[in-house]
Structure 1
Amino acid sequence: MRKLKKYQALFKKINQVSLSYLFAMDYYRNEYFFVSDKIKRKLGVRFCSHEALLQSFQLHPSDHLIVDSICRARRFICSQAIEERKKYRLVNNFRICNESMQYMRVYVQHSILEMDKRGNIWLSLRKVDLDPDQEANKPALSFLQHVDNNEIIYRIHGNEGNDSISEREREVLELISEGYVSKEIAERLFISEYTVNNHRKSILKKLNANNASEAIKKAVKVGIIR
């Protein structure tokens, strides 16, 4: 509790002069013990509990590599000697959709503040900055770095362009949005109905959508179809 109060006081001072948004996480309680107040105004977040923040933002369909990178970083860090684990920083650059249904590109730096006696992550800090380059089609980027020698442990780039959705998949999705069923799409594109259904499955997977309606909404939002 004493350490939490120490960090809270420190982050409160930093928050008054910094343009960054700070999120400090307590993994034991699975909740943020400090969140910059100004993020509510700038990013359109009403609540700042851990669950509310997760619900408030939606990753761009092409940027889910960020989730994989976070898991990969954690596995790597936990494989290192305990005294080395706090010396790594994960940096992510990606697009999020806020409650106003607008995509914004952000930089997020993940750092470990404290670990328990077993070397498990206890407290962590996420420093969030808006990217000055708000290019909508720039792919996501993630890298893990050693803070002492600046060595890059790994670097992951997303796909360039619109979502890795192929041109044929875009045509299929466009026709779905116009109300055509698989048989009609197959006839219009001169392909088999089986192929159309395979494209439909691929589209749902790439857009991380549960159904065609959700896929259409996401595709319109990111400019794949109109």
Structure 2
Amino acid sequence: MNPISNLEEQFFLESADSPQKRKELLQEAISMMQNYVKLEHSVAVLSDLADNKSYIFSGDFGRFFNMNSGYTTIDSIWEYDIYKRIHPDDLFKRHLLELEFFNFLKTLPPEERLDYGTRCSIRAVDSKNEYQYILHRSFYLKNSSTGGLWLAVCLYNYSFEKTVEQQGIEGRIVNTKTGEWFYADSYVSCFNLLTTREKEILLLISHGFISKEIAEKLNISINTVNRHRQNILEKLNVANSFEAVRTAQGLHLI
């Protein structure tokens, strides 16, 4: 089970610039990332949330993933070939971190959102098919002219920090301007992600109740239950109820 689903619907609503305007700014961003991976020797993924495309740039660290140098384009905002190499537990926790980060940014004025990023240490399979810790960072490179989040960046590189006593992925949200940071394991920005009724229904789902039984217990129609179930999947960005329960438990929502 892949815990990374998608945020396409939310992301699509974030950008409202014309295609021509986006094309010009995207070209600048591509040139910037090409130079960046040469300097930092990392792997970078530039995701265009408006067009549902990603540009994957490989510096020297690309050898960790058996990547060739240069960059490739994929028709997705998710780098699934890299996700396959990440430990499933760490991939799930990274998904929770990204959900918290996205909801945290939505509490900030648009002009402040680009000042923040995430940082975590995750286990990934190297070219020898062995797990080792690598550094993962993410941030948003550009807003649209209306202030919506548009270009997202994920960075992968070697981790030079001690990981012997590491607890989880040690995910944190960092203000790159001031250096201030905080661990993102309490998921306070996701606390109100689900309504009281949605939490109630999801809790019943976690206890094995089906929609018909939930409708009877709560004295509501089965159509209302199914509508709530769909809203839950969309808000948690997951594909099914099993993933929804796991994600909600990870976020301490139920």
TM-score computed with the length of structure 2 as normaliser? 0.53
Question: 2:130 aligned with 1:102, yes or no?
Answer: yes
Q: State the distance in 2 between where 1:57 and 1:4 align.
A: 28
Which residue of the other structure, out of 6, 17, 22, is the alignment partner of 2:39? 17
Q: Is the 8 Å Cα contact of residues 90 and 111 (structure 1) preserved in structure 2? A: yes
Q: 1:55 to 1:31 in 2, by over 3 A?
A: same
CA apart distance, 1:126? 1.8
Q: Distance in 1 between matches of 2:63 and 2:99?
A: 30
1:26 maps to 2:54: no
Residue 200 of structure 1 corresponds to none
Q: What is the aligned-residue identity percentage?
A: 13
Q: 1:20 deviation in Å?
A: 2.1
In structure 1, the residue matched to 2:140 is 112
Partner of 1:61: 89
Check 1:18–1:37 CA distance in 2 against 1; reply closer, same or farther (3 A cut).
closer
Cα pair 2:42 2:157 within 8 Å, conserved: yes
- Per-residue CA distance 1:165-196 (angstroms, 9 max, x = gap): xxxxxxxxxxxxxxxxxxxxxxxxxxxxxxxx
User: 3-state SS of the aligned residue for 2:45?
Assistant: strand
Q: List runs of 5+ in structure 1 lacking aligned partners.
A: 158-204, 209-226
Aligned equivalent of 2:103: 75
Contact 2:34 2:57 in 1 (8 A): no
Letter in 2 for 1:16: K
Match of 2:181 among 145, 152, 174: 152
> Which amino acid letter does the alignment assign opposite residue 41 of structure 1?
R
**CA spacing shift, 1:151–1:28, aligned 2, 3 Å:** same
Q: Distance in 1 between matches of 2:184 and 2:100?
A: 11
Structure with the greater relative contact order (CA < 8 A, sep ≥ 6): 1 or 2? 2
1:138 maps to 166
SS at match of 1:64: helix
Root mean square deviation of aligned Cα: 3.1
Structure 1 CA distance for aligned equivalents of residues 174 and 83 of structure 2: 28
Deviation of the 1:106 alpha carbon:
1.2
Query: CA contact under 8 A between 1:107 and 1:128: conserved in structure 2?
Result: yes
Asked whether the 8 Å contact 1:45–1:53 carries over to 2, the reply is no
Distance 1:145 1:36, change over 3 A: same
Q: Is the 8 A contact 1:45 1:56 kept in 2?
A: no
CA gap 1:31/1:134 in 2 versus in 1, 3 angstroms: farther
Secondary structure of the corresponding residue to residue 72 of structure 1:
helix
Shift of 1:98: 5.4
What's the TM-score once normalised by structure 1's chain length? 0.58
Residues 138 and 63 of structure 1: CA distance in aligned 2, closer, same or farther (over 3 Å): farther
1:84 paired to 2:106: no
Q: Alpha carbons of 1:28 and 1:39: their partners in 2 closer, same or farther (altered >3 Å)?
A: farther
Report the secondary structure of 2:185's partner residue.
strand
Q: Distance in 2 between matches of 1:108 and 1:31?
A: 20
Instruction: Give the Cα separation in 2 of the matches to 1:104 and 1:134.
Output: 12
